């Protein structure tokens, strides 16, 4: 059986833990508990191949900047997250995560860029990050793929992990897009 380690990274409170818990348990957690380091495991079928996945959850708070990179060892793909409801988390993708941290500690490991909390788009009064802005950022950081998710509605969760597994299997390739004009 294939086995891959996927590590979720991004600012605190962007929804990394909720995404991982919801994906592995099919239940959205109601309470927020800051993460220092956590690991979840699950088996999935990807293109007919049974695959064991180790999902590593990291702390996004600056207090853990020295410890967090220790969890990057043996990572096959990073799941780099920002919240569409948090402009600072979006800006930190380039200012803190992608270039300064991930490229320094694991330059050859592919990245799947994930927008979380897209269910917030149903609230018209909020100034949110658009899908176009997210896709442009994914191109800028040379992400393998860009996926929009909501752990609350379970939107896009399967796609995140399937894409991350595909990236881990073939880190030099980019996800293929089908554009219908």
For residue 21, the Cα-to-chain-centroid distance in whole angstroms is: 13
d(C-alpha 8, C-alpha 125), whole Å = 29
The number of folded domains in the chain is: 1
d(C-alpha 147, C-alpha 159), whole Å = 7
Would 98 be classed as within a structural domain?
Answer: yes
User: What predicted TM-score, i.e. pTM, was given to this entire model?
Assistant: 0.89
Q: What is the CATH number of the domain that holds 51?
A: 3.40.50.300
pLDDT mean for each 10 residues of the chain (181 residues): 94 92 91 72 90 87 66 91 97 88 89 98 91 98 97 97 95 55 42
Would 175 be classed as within a structural domain?
Answer: no
d(C-alpha 96, C-alpha 98), whole Å = 7
User: What SS3 state is found at 12?
Assistant: coil
Would 28 be classed as within a structural domain?
Answer: yes
pLDDT of 43 reads 92
Supply the range of the domain harboring residue 87: 2-169
Would 174 be classed as within a structural domain?
Answer: no
pLDDT of 180 reads 47
pLDDT of 61 reads 64
Would 23 be classed as within a structural domain?
Answer: yes
Would 39 be classed as within a structural domain?
Answer: yes
pLDDT of 66 reads 65
Would 82 be classed as within a structural domain?
Answer: yes
Would 177 be classed as within a structural domain?
Answer: no
């Amino acid at each position: 059986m294939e086995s891959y380690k996927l590590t979720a990274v991004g600012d605190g409170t962007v929804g990394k833990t909720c995404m991982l818990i919801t994906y592995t348990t099919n239940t959205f957690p109601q309470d927020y508990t800051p993460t220092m380091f956590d690991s979840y495991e699950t088996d999935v079928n990807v293109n007919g191949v049974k695959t064991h996945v180790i999902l590593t959850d990291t702390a996004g708070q600056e207090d853990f900047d020295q410890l967090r990179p220790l969890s990057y060892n043996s990572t096959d793909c990073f799941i780099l997250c920002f919240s569409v409801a948090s402009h600072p988390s979006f800006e930190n993708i380039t200012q803190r995560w992608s270039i300064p941290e991930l490229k320094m500690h694991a330059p050859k490991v592919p990245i799947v860029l994930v927008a979380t909390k897209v269910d917030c788009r149903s609230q018209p009064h909020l100034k949110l990050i658009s899908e176009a802005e997210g896709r442009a950022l994914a191109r800028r950081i040379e992400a393998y793929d860009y996926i929009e998710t909501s752990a609350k509605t379970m939107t896009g969760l399967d796609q995140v992990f399937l894409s991350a597994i595909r990236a881990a299997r073939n880190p030099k390739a980019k996800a293929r897009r089908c554009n219908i004009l």
